[in-house]
Structure 1
């Protein structure tokens, strides 16, 4: 009599009984569930760390960035489009406003979009068969890279990276399954992405050309591709209509950006930055290239390499800022980490795994106080050599300055707003309704509104979208002028010009910006201002 042990079953061949072990299904399921829980716990720990980290890397001496003030003001002027960005940021700003509008909530959303990008990377790694080590390596690289610097500021860039990552993830799912539903979802994400930042169209162009040039060109026979494109177009339609009505100001903005900022972009620096972004972890980007090119199971996704090259070449041709390409890297981080885990899986090489984590983390920790505004402005000046060696002191004008440009753009705004309030308080109470607060640039206008909103009239400027937000000027009696001195041509039209003060913070980008109270205005002033506003608005029409 044969005794059957638990975990085995008999096979009868002639007179022989062979005992063959089988997998205990309940035990297998339990192990899988345990691994999944561990993976989720790892993700949760990284997400909590990520959110907390973004709040700890900004020294209290720094205020919000000039761009953030403009973006927050858009929440008070909801529209289907704006000169500098599509409308998604404005609706995000409305949400910030509903939540109280404090700096905590301003910093919350870029950190949140960074955290959500980490979730996408985590899903990619699991999809590629990566284990806990690959997940830890991928998420560590995301935190210890330029992505964390990007997630400090309330700008469209953090959500843009999330959109690029999602599009690459959805395309991976389509390439693996050939199911049209992924193309429909890609259309949804692309449409929302266009409403956030137009650079997503560079990624879409790269994907389409890469697919056309690859063996995946059969995708162009998929009805779902065109339906997805229609979904994207429908979502982006309100902004497209706005652009048509306004004469495509985005083209004017791009031209202005090219002549004032992008002209200083060095194409070789752009290429070098693609590896500098990741500090010691750049080897994982190289590993992604190697895995996609040589590792047979990844052959289905080699089109990603072609897409990457096409997008990079297009951005270099456009003289785009180097960080515009950051959205390409979440998918490469996933491939690189998963491939690296496989390379160092067996034998003595698995003991080197902790070394690769250290290579990712330690250089980032060493450069932490240079990459982020952790130090006070005075401390940054003391360590200026370290900043200069890394090219951090070079501004868009191509010259070196005392602080990194982004850091200098986070100083002096509260002081400027206080000076504007002092000028406003000198206006007789019965004339305050006839007062215009006019600023030289959008940073000053946004800062005055952020700190003084509800206590004085909203500030405007001939800069950026503020040119569309001017109040009626018919009964103008006083002007609070922020950031500039009236030109000689206009002084005969001003009865009295009282200087209230000027920005004293020598490290602020607007250092020395004056604030005046103008009164005794000629009746010609309102007409001249209206004419200037109309001319400025016309200049934005392409």
Structure 2
């Protein structure tokens, strides 16, 4: 009898002509369909077979598994995983760019870590604080985290290929498709929760495949763990949960909902992700306000055409190959047993499209689609078509990725990168979140000018008399500016930093009187009801490659302000966005 679908038994059909052997009547919980030309027998109790004395067939099958695909991870695939890790560390060590705007926010969240009282899933802040324990300012040290996550993502995809019955060729294909993809190169290069989100989705997909193969309830627990870790990383994991539910409802696996295991899975996810949920409840659900601001400023302008075209730009051949993987999962062939995975991926794609999600939001579905497509291609019965796909798809993917590699990895300095972007004419590569065309990819522009700003503020601060320095507070107009001041403040010995921007508002105004304020990124006309006995624009920090709003930034010196930082906090709410 085969393993039950997602832990629900199918009934006892035995192989023809094998009714007489107690050993052969045992339940083998992990077998592949013969149409895959692979029979992998796992979890057999050798002792039971020996006791009944009729183990020849079972032992022979086990002895042959090493020669069959799907039984081991290919060494070449593991080498590629290691190469991806090394590539990202090499780029981090030689990059002409500094930290990203968002990274400064996560560093600050780590400095003010309160696991149960944060507006943002806290895992990224916890990781930031862990890295800071070993190295306070090393770009390579912080970028090691996403590089490791990117390598783990490839490894999980390779393991999924193996679980689907794919041999070394399919495993290497999947690794190549993931490694040579601008989207996954970019996400594994930045200390952001995006790459963590991709890892937890892939772990969830692997759990679904293992559930189908083994019927073992423990894989429900792994699914719950993946969802819980996703809640600790990025709230977009909710789309994964909803997509899995849709998949269960529209496939034959819906009967699993009548068992206790899906609900145990939900409980595990909520338990592991509790810090994120508690933070939302205690702070009055800031996610809703954040999403409203995001929708108004960025998401409302995203069309389905743009959403779809961006998928193609990451790799036209890879995108078509992913579609082939979806068809293989949803069709009637050998991979149809994993239809739940295919429906989940398709549902996630539709959910993000219907809610005007950014094009990279759907990135987590591609690794499992690449895995399915690679298994399908490697097991085609037509030799010429198989050879064309097995060799042609990876080759085309590599060539395309190398041609647009500077869009995936920050390897070109700003001026050469701007020339390259103009020469390629790939407008989507330099399109900002709000729709404006920039000279550089927005992520790259967001990695410029931060140290210059901190140095300018430090120069103003050092020029103050010691007694005035003791009462000085720094203010950043947005989380990037405030985060950069706090990050470089340890190096430049700067005073406390405050800001009304998002998470910084939750960190509070501090205890200093703020009789002197140094304001970064605030124009005179933006002071509203704050007046100063003396207000001076000391300098402006200019960087033509930075994003609009960061390319010409004022530094104001305000003496004897009309409001203390504490009074400013009582009169304002956090500024999300």
TM-score of the two chains, using structure 1 as the length reference:
0.88
Whether the 8 Å CA contact 1:445–1:461 is kept in 2: the answer is yes
Q: Does 1:202 align with 2:239?
A: yes
1:294 and 1:186, CA in 2 relative to 1: closer, same or farther beyond 3 A? closer
Distance in 1 (CA, whole Å) between partners of 2:367 and 2:545 is: 35
Q: Does 1:462 align with 2:497?
A: no
**Matching residue of 2:554:** 514
1:357 and 1:312, CA in 2 relative to 1: closer, same or farther beyond 3 A? closer
Distance in 1 (CA, whole Å) between partners of 2:199 and 2:504 is: 29
Whether the 8 Å CA contact 1:439–1:459 is kept in 2: the answer is yes
Greater shift, 223-232 or 290-299, is seen at 290-299
What whole-Å deviation, never above 9, does each CA across 1:249-290 have from its counterpart, x for those lacking one?
Answer: 111111111111112212221122233333432232122123
**Matching residue of 1:296:** 333
1:232 and 1:490, CA in 2 relative to 1: closer, same or farther beyond 3 A? closer
Where 1:383 maps in the other structure, the secondary structure is helix
Distance in 2 (CA, whole Å) between partners of 1:498 and 1:207 is: 57
**Matching residue of 1:48:** 82
Aligned length: 514
**Matching residue of 1:69:** 104
1:47 and 1:538, CA in 2 relative to 1: closer, same or farther beyond 3 A? closer
Q: How far did residue 225 of structure 1 move?
A: 1.6
Where 1:169 maps in the other structure, the secondary structure is helix
Q: Does 1:114 align with 2:150?
A: yes
What whole-Å deviation, never above 9, does each CA across 1:433-452 have from its counterpart, x for those lacking one?
Answer: 21110011111111112222
Distance in 1 (CA, whole Å) between partners of 2:194 and 2:223 is: 19
Q: Does 1:60 align with 2:95?
A: yes
Where 1:79 maps in the other structure, the secondary structure is coil
**Matching residue of 2:469:** 432
Distance in 2 (CA, whole Å) between partners of 1:491 and 1:286 is: 56
Q: Does 1:400 align with 2:440?
A: no
Match of 2:170 among 119, 123, 134: 134
Distance in 1 (CA, whole Å) between partners of 2:399 and 2:312 is: 16
What whole-Å deviation, never above 9, does each CA across 1:215-252 have from its counterpart, x for those lacking one?
Answer: 11111112122112112112222332221111111111
Whether the 8 Å CA contact 1:164–1:203 is kept in 2: the answer is yes
What whole-Å deviation, never above 9, does each CA across 1:399-418 have from its counterpart, x for those lacking one?
Answer: 21222211111110110010
1:99 and 1:33, CA in 2 relative to 1: closer, same or farther beyond 3 A? farther
Q: Does 1:100 align with 2:135?
A: yes
Q: Does 1:525 align with 2:563?
A: yes
Q: Trace 1:63-462 onto structure 2 (pairs within 5 A).
A: 63-80=98-115, 85-101=120-136, 102-145=138-181, 146-343=183-380, 346=383, 350=387, 353-453=390-490, 455-462=493-500
Where 1:462 maps in the other structure, the secondary structure is coil
Distance in 1 (CA, whole Å) between partners of 2:72 and 2:229 is: 33
Distance in 1 (CA, whole Å) between partners of 2:337 and 2:421 is: 48
Distance in 1 (CA, whole Å) between partners of 2:349 and 2:384 is: 38
1:488 and 1:327, CA in 2 relative to 1: closer, same or farther beyond 3 A? closer
Q: How far did residue 28 of structure 1 move?
A: 9.0
Q: Does 1:476 align with 2:510?
A: no
Q: Structure 2 stretches of 5 or more lacking a match?
A: 1-55
**Matching residue of 2:41:** none
Q: How far did residue 295 of structure 1 move?
A: 4.9
Distance in 1 (CA, whole Å) between partners of 2:422 and 2:274 is: 49
1:334 and 1:489, CA in 2 relative to 1: closer, same or farther beyond 3 A? closer
Where 1:253 maps in the other structure, the secondary structure is helix
Distance in 2 (CA, whole Å) between partners of 1:81 and 1:270 is: 35
Distance in 2 (CA, whole Å) between partners of 1:287 and 1:354 is: 16
Distance in 2 (CA, whole Å) between partners of 1:416 and 1:400 is: 24
Distance in 1 (CA, whole Å) between partners of 2:124 and 2:555 is: 30
Distance in 1 (CA, whole Å) between partners of 2:68 and 2:433 is: 51
Q: How far did residue 495 of structure 1 move?
A: 2.5
Q: How far did residue 208 of structure 1 move?
A: 0.6
| Aligned residues: CA RMSD | 2.7
Distance in 1 (CA, whole Å) between partners of 2:208 and 2:97 is: 40
1:281 and 1:311, CA in 2 relative to 1: closer, same or farther beyond 3 A? closer
Q: How far did residue 352 of structure 1 move?
A: 6.7
Greater shift, 355-364 or 32-41, is seen at 32-41
Whether the 8 Å CA contact 2:505–2:574 is kept in 1: the answer is no
Q: How far did residue 391 of structure 1 move?
A: 2.0
Greater shift, 457-466 or 203-212, is seen at 457-466
Q: How far did residue 468 of structure 1 move?
A: 1.9
Where 1:230 maps in the other structure, the secondary structure is helix
1:35 and 1:384, CA in 2 relative to 1: closer, same or farther beyond 3 A? closer
Distance in 2 (CA, whole Å) between partners of 1:129 and 1:345 is: 18
What whole-Å deviation, never above 9, does each CA across 1:13-67 have from its counterpart, x for those lacking one?
Answer: xxxxxxxxx99x9999599389999945323311221012223446632111100
